[in-house]
Structure 1
């Protein structure tokens, strides 16, 4: 997943080298077409222009022959195609600038086509995850954060669960083979959270032997 704009990354998708004991389990990015349909509502836009086309043909057919009326609908079809092409281009730019990463210790998301940022979400800060699958196996994996951890919906869109504003839920959007990715996340999170935490405390000096 090399991209010339991110040569400064020691590891693609991560701002710094992984510390000792941490390793990558999975990396991926959104599917451009699926992202255009889900986040940018490309199908709705196409449907809107299709309705405009039918309406224009219907209105024109009352005054001119149907063959001529159909020509009156062509500009609307062309406008719809152009709008869809623009939305697909925006989704493609977002997809190419995005890298989702699962390690054995955290979820990482390098996002942003214009203003790039990296989110690091340790498994201990994630309370739950929800998976929404489509028939072709693509889907969205959203993460519910614990405690006071808050992320801006607008700053992280479209890499968030739709319509969940407060609190927002960061998400892997439109990823292929989403069920397998969710399984990798579940196994890694369960293993990480189950690890015992060893804390070091200061000890009192040895007791002075009784005289």
Structure 2
């Protein structure tokens, strides 16, 4: 599934598309949303705000200044990393596979055949923004640390690739559902995937054609 990134005849892909395979969608994480949802910059900011408040209560001017500087540096580094991740990440959906081109220092491409995708889960992060986690069928060799931050949180034993901080997550989910429905046999294309936080019509539109359910 994993091939080392070297050259890109097509952006985000390790080679030309084979005959009969078509490009359906490409996108990247929105870096500000990625910083908030995956790197928890708001929680980190709140933590430093509490430290500043405690320093003020204790009357430590030096402590206030030092905490403000440390907080600014910490949050700044997290946001810089989020920007770098978004800049180097390309998610691709074709008629046969999902490809994740990831890695800030060392790029790699992870190819996920549609036949290996048994379910999907949409985690809303806004009106149309969100994360899209992919549940894979059967054993695989994808490690959590290899995928991170493009991995569903806390799924350490059975890592699930996640398309992070998508500005059009609902649209991508629908396109993925249609692609899988068109690819797999009809008897496997069951509308059983649920989408957390969505209304029933939205969940049905998102999950049409995908097999299984993601909790």
How many Å separate the matches in 1 of 2:76 and 2:58? Answer: 27
Q: 1:195 to 1:10 in 2, by over 3 A?
A: farther
1:85 equivalent in alignment to 2:76: yes
How many Å separate the matches in 1 of 2:33 and 2:112? Answer: 25
Q: 1:195 to 1:104 in 2, by over 3 A?
A: farther
Q: Partner of 2:38 in structure 1?
A: 39
**What is the CA deviation profile of residues 115-156 of structure 1, one whole-angstrom value per residue up to 9, with x for unaligned ones?**
111111111111111110122421110111111123100011
Q: Partner of 2:212 in structure 1?
A: none
After TM superposition, the structure 1 = structure 2 runs for residues 167-182 of structure 1, keeping only pairs within 5 Å, are: 167-182=158-173
**What is the CA deviation profile of residues 170-211 of structure 1, one whole-angstrom value per residue up to 9, with x for unaligned ones?**
010111110001000000111111379xxxxxxxxxxxxxxx
How many Å separate the matches in 1 of 2:21 and 2:150? Answer: 24
How many Å separate the matches in 1 of 2:50 and 2:72? Answer: 13
State TM-score, norm by structure 1: 0.82
**May I ask how many residue pairs the two structures share in their alignment?**
183
1:98 equivalent in alignment to 2:97: no
How many Å separate the matches in 1 of 2:101 and 2:71? Answer: 32
How many Å separate the matches in 2 of 1:79 and 1:147? Answer: 45
Q: Partner of 1:140 in structure 2?
A: 131
**What is the CA deviation profile of residues 70-105 of structure 1, one whole-angstrom value per residue up to 9, with x for unaligned ones?**
685233223212211110001111111100000011
Would the aligned equivalents of 1:94 and 1:112 in 2 still touch at CA under 8 Å?
Answer: yes
SS in 1 for 2:80: helix
Which contiguous aligned blocks of 4+ residues in structure 1 show a shift greater than 3 angstroms? 69-72
Gapped runs of 5+ residues in structure 1? 1-5, 61-68, 197-211
State TM-score, norm by structure 2: 0.80
Query: Larger Rg: 1 or 2?
Result: 1
Q: Partner of 2:12 in structure 1?
A: 13
Gapped runs of 5+ residues in structure 2? 188-215
Q: Partner of 2:21 in structure 1?
A: 22
User: How far has the Cα of 1:27 moved from its partner?
Assistant: 0.3
